[in-house]
Amino acid sequence: MSIELQLKNKVLEALQQMYGQVVDPESIQIQKTRKDFVGDYTLVVFPLLKISKKPPEQTATEIGEYIKKNIDDISEFNVIKGFLNLTLNNNFWLSFLNSVGQKKDYGYIINKEKPNIVLVEYSSPNTNKPLHLGHIRNNLLGYSVAKIIASQGDKVIKVNLVNDRGIHICKSMLAWQKWGNGITPEKAGKKGDHLVGDFYVKFDQEYKKQIDELIQKGISEEEAKKNAPLIIEAQEMLRKWEAKDETTIGLWKEMNSWVLKGFDITYKNLGIDFDKIYFESDTYKLGKEIVLKGIEKGVFLKKDDGSVWVDLTEEGLDQKLLLRADGTSVYITQDIGTAHQRFADFNADELIYVVGNEQNYHFQVLKLIMNKLGYSFSEYLFHLSYGMVELPEGKMKSREGTVVDADDLMDEMIHTAEEMSKELGKLDEYSEAERIQINRTIGLGALKYFILKVDPKKNMTFDPKESIDFNGNTGPFIQYTYARIVSLTKKAQARNSITPNKIKTDITATNKELQLIKQIHSYPEILFDASETLSPAIVANFVYDLAKEYNQFYHDHPILNEVDENISLFRLFLSQQIGKIIQSGMNLLGIDVPERM
């Protein structure tokens, strides 16, 4: 039984014994004591005054005396107006620490009675360009959220929807046809996604030239954008693709295969994966079928030009296009089909879309459409809307080729870690293979942590130099703390081969030691909150706070050199449990922790 539940039960017992009242357990408000007050848990007494019929201070004092008398773990209490602050004794906290030492996955919920099936969709790249910095935030968020939800006992299925069809794909294909001269990734010595991305940029450059030429002839900018020969050719290519034109489909398959191979390399380097990959080229057909059935049901409206719309004016929105006049699909069409397919495939309880906040309206519309179509799962569609990520220099634009490529950024982070390691001389005694692996772990850890420590809802600026600092709220600082704990354990083993698996509970812990144990105690609550709010930032900042407090403890308290053997073993044991929590938390962020740095 948790201490919170034990306290609540004892308060209920006190009310019945002292005041002869049986009360609703929901009226008992017990919370963690605020940091600026003495105590561990606080009972809010005000709701109980109608039962005691006494002033708040007297009621709190009477309940406090009863609890202290009947729960051995309570060492003292204090009353501040209508708040009863209860303090747990050393024995409770040290016994708790022992229990943590016996658990392999402390904080995780194992064998949940009724686990939910949760689909988490992330990445969702277009096959016309490589992954960039924005995709990195998306992938890291999605992967970490999936791991955090799974830690709470639910079954998580990680899915990716590859946007492999549409006008943007045709733009790259058309540019390759016109200016590619038969180039392939092998001939170019490039990853396929990079090569195809070059042609997407080339299309935009030539398209802009045509627009400017038409404007100079007196045509308005809006009309020029519609009538430029390149965009008309790209639209014709899309129609050929949907009509299954053999040549168009052949080129599409070849160029898509180049990109997908490139994506796989990036995903592997980033350390993320998927359980199921969907392709828009498959799901858009189902979406079209559902839309056409929606017309028959009177849910959607077909206009005179053949286009299909949904009217959402009653919901405070506008009309939304579902099928163009020429019968081609739009993004929302394939999302309708994909949502239907996923719930059919997995009988999921929830589907979480990890997509940037520029698509808030899109997912609001999707949910309303699925509800209008009568899908009961519409209420279980959730959009994890995250903010944009920029560099100190500003925004990025794919069409103009000013994006920060994901592969380049990862390479840069690893190189920066290497330079810093050389400068600090930390890895001089290691082999070349060890240095490469450690620098990779540090560089990617810095990148991942810096992005994940920010609340997903917020826009952020990624600063590579700041992210890899060995001091402050960074991945390398946390990794170094873990390596320090591993080194401490190895030194202890080298001295006497004794590493404690249990400690004595009659030791008097210092305030700093108790603070660290209390932080460990809050880890399950941290994971629960992170899972409920879909925010890896909660885990990231908890791990940083724990590492920071540990380093202060390490600096001020002798561990292996402590003369009292029992205290030395206690501090070593405490260090080891903190190391386990750091490793666990960083693992949920998709970050490795090296044993040496």
Residues sharing a CB contact under 8 Å with residue 53, sequence separation 6 or more, in sequence order: 19
If residue 145 lies in a helix (H) or strand (E), which one and from where to where?
helix 133-151
Residue 502 has a pLDDT of 87
Residue 159 has pLDDT above 90, yes or no: yes
How far apart CA 255 and CA 199 sit, in angstroms, is 11
- Residue pLDDT, tens place only, 368-393: 999 999 999 999 999 999 999 987 87
pLDDT for the residue 33: 96
187 pLDDT more than 90:
yes
The partner residues of 278 in beta bridges, in order of sequence, read: 161
Give the tens place of pLDDT for each residue, 207-237: 999 999 999 999 999 999 999 999 999 999 9
pLDDT at 104 over 70: yes
pLDDT for res 401: 47
**Phi and psi of 158, rounded to 5°?**
-85, 120
Among 410-419, 424-433, 463-472, which is the least confidently predicted range? 424-433
Confidence band of 464 (pLDDT split at 50, 70, 90): confident
* pLDDT category of residue 399 using cuts at 50, 70 and 90: very low
Share of the chain above pLDDT 70, in %: 98
Give me the helices (H) in 152-245, please.
Answer: 167-179, 185-188, 192-216, 221-227, 229-242
Tokens representing 233?
Answer: 């050719």
Task: Give the 3-state secondary structure of residue 162.
Answer: strand
C-beta of residue 382 within 8 angstroms of C-beta of residue 452:
no
Average pLDDT over residues 342-350: 94
Render pLDDT for 1-17 as a digit per residue (tens, 0 to 9): 789 999 999 999 999 99
Instruction: Report d(CA 453, CA 462) in Å as an integer.
Output: 11
The mean pLDDT of 297-309, rounded to a whole number, is 95
The string of DSSP letters for 410-422 reads HHHHHHHHHHHHH
Average pLDDT over residues 479-491: 95
The mean per-residue pLDDT over the stretch 297-314 comes to 95
pTM (two decimals): 0.93
In this prediction, residue 143 has a pLDDT band, given cuts at 50, 70 and 90, of very high
| pLDDT of the residue at 331 | 85
- CATH fold label, 122-390: Rossmann fold (3.40.50)
Helix spans in 317-405 (H):
331-346, 360-372
For residue 243, what are the contacts with CB-CB under 8 A and spacing of at least 6?
Answer: none
Taking only Cα atoms into account, the Rg of the chain, rounded to an integer number of angstroms, comes to 30
Mean pLDDT of 87-93: 96
Of 152-156, 285-289, 454-458, least confident by mean pLDDT is: 285-289
At 537, which helix (H) or strand (E)? helix 536-556
Please give the pLDDT value at position 396.
Answer: 43
Q: What is the pLDDT of residue 354?
A: 98
Mean pLDDT for the chain overall: 94
Mean pLDDT of 97-116: 94
DSSP 8-class letter at 517 = H
**C-alpha to C-alpha distance for 164 and 99, rounded to whole angstroms:** 51
Over residues 547-562, the mean pLDDT reads 96
220 burial (CB, 10 Å; 0-12 / 13-18 / 19+) is: exposed
Which superfamily, per CATH, for 460-588?
Isoleucyl-tRNA Synthetase; Domain 1 (1.10.730.10)
Confidence check: pLDDT of 398 > 50: no
Neighbours of 256 (CB within 10 A): 22
Residue type at 455 in one-letter notation: D
Tokens encoding 83: 């708040």
pLDDT, residue 283, reads 85
Could you name the CATH architecture of 3-88? 2-Layer Sandwich (3.30)
3-state DSSP helix/strand/coil % of the chain, to nearest 5? 60, 10, 30
Over residues 246-277, the pLDDT tens digits come to 999 999 999 999 999 999 999 999 999 999 99
- What was the pLDDT predicted at 412? 92
Tokens matching residue 110: 């194992």
pLDDT value of position 326: 83
Residues in contact with 240: Cβ distance below 8 Å, sequence separation at least 6, in sequence order:
247, 248
Domain ranges of the chain: 3-88, 122-390, 460-588
The pair of structure tokens assigned to 555 is 């600096």
